[in-house]
Structure 1
Amino acid sequence: MVVYGLLRVVDGLDGDRHNGPAWDVGHVAFFAAIVLFAVLAVALRGLDRPAATAPRVLVEAATVATLFGAVCFLWVITGDLSADFRSAAPLPDALELIGPALFQIGLLILLVRLVLARRLPVWSPVLVLVGFAAIGVNLDLLPLGAVLVLVALLPLALSRDERLTTGQHRPVGS
């Protein structure tokens, strides 16, 4: 997402967007980022396996919301990269609005669940929310928002704690 944000800025330096390699490469990077967010959502689902029915339903619903929103994002990005695709299969306006919201809400629920389970610091979903809000306020803030989201997710990548694995790895001797 950082690459997309920076290339979006570069693309707009001449006062015109949508017409060059920075636009195309940026959108391919954005596409890849959204795919990785979908993979992250599935991984977060695997980290949170509540025994009770209500929390389990919440985790499943949040995962589905994130994935549905990711598909909506990917549809729009593909349309941005291909006018033919956009004209042949436009995403309905309602889905252009609700898809990103579901993506963000679903991902935040999955992160908050890990905070409640003491598997993630409380500032992590807060920073994701601030990053999403920055992007929502103005797309020119996308590089900043992307960096905030990246920093917020670093504990997932940096943790060597068993609690942040998918449960497939067990410490030696256990």
Structure 2
Amino acid sequence: MSRRPVLIPAATAPVLLLLYGILRLVDGLDGDRGPGLAWNLGHTFFLAAFVLFGVLIVGLRRLVREAAGSRIVADPATAAGLIGVAGFLWVILCDLFERLEDAAPLPDPLYAAGPLLFQLGLLTLMVQLTAARPRLLPAWSPVLVFLGFLLIAVNLDLLPLGAVFIAGGLFPLVPRPALLPDRTGRTGASG
């Protein structure tokens, strides 16, 4: 089963989230957060991270369906995750382009539920991969991602640390490079 569809988003989305978190802290050093270089660049990284999280959710759905063949939980989890991603994307775009929010504000229920839907969808798909036989993710993987989300919810200034936890949780989705020894001690590059 190929993990190729999740390789780039699993490796890159948390790094972009980390960069956003760092730039958010830098932007607030003067006591004010708002438009400027750090704000705009940070939000651009944030936007790219959530595009990649959307790609990750779709890729995880594919892995779950290949492993378990079940749509019963995977499809609603994917829908919830993607609705949450869409909510995040709209909020980020409105932060970057203030006129968007005036033109088409996000409904309050979606504004409130979006982050939860994203987290619920992503974590549900990850838990399904821990329950698959053979197991495709270690049990600690969704736990680390959950802890990352929890840190961010406690205080947005903890976003860089939360991103590190999320990266750790998604790390098992990133295949080992071919030059590293496999379990038999041979390298994948020998030929």
TM superposition score normalised by structure 2: 0.80
Shift of 1:19: 2.7
Which residue of 170, 180, 183 maps to 1:153? Answer: 170
CA deviation map 1:77-124 (0-9, x unaligned): 000001111111111111111111000000000000000011101110
Corresponding residue of 2:141: 124
Corresponding residue of 2:161: 144
CA deviation map 1:47-106 (0-9, x unaligned): 11133xxx4221000001111100000000000001111111111111111111000000
Corresponding residue of 2:123: 108
Q: CA RMSD in A?
A: 1.1
SS at match of 2:130: helix
Q: For 1:125 and 1:16, how far apart are their aligned partners in 2?
A: 34
SS at match of 1:86: helix
SS at match of 2:71: helix
For 1:1-174, list aligned pairs within 5 A.
1-49=17-65, 50-51=68-69, 55-117=70-132, 118-159=135-176
Shift of 1:9: 0.3
Q: For 1:40 and 1:83, how far apart are their aligned partners in 2?
A: 28
Q: For 1:69 and 1:116, how far apart are their aligned partners in 2?
A: 24
Shift of 1:158: 2.7
Corresponding residue of 1:166: none
Q: For 1:125 and 1:148, how far apart are their aligned partners in 2?
A: 10
Aligned residues: 157
Corresponding residue of 2:5: none
Unmatched tracts of structure 1, length 5 or more: 161-174
Unmatched tracts of structure 2, length 5 or more: 1-16, 178-191
TM superposition score normalised by structure 1: 0.88
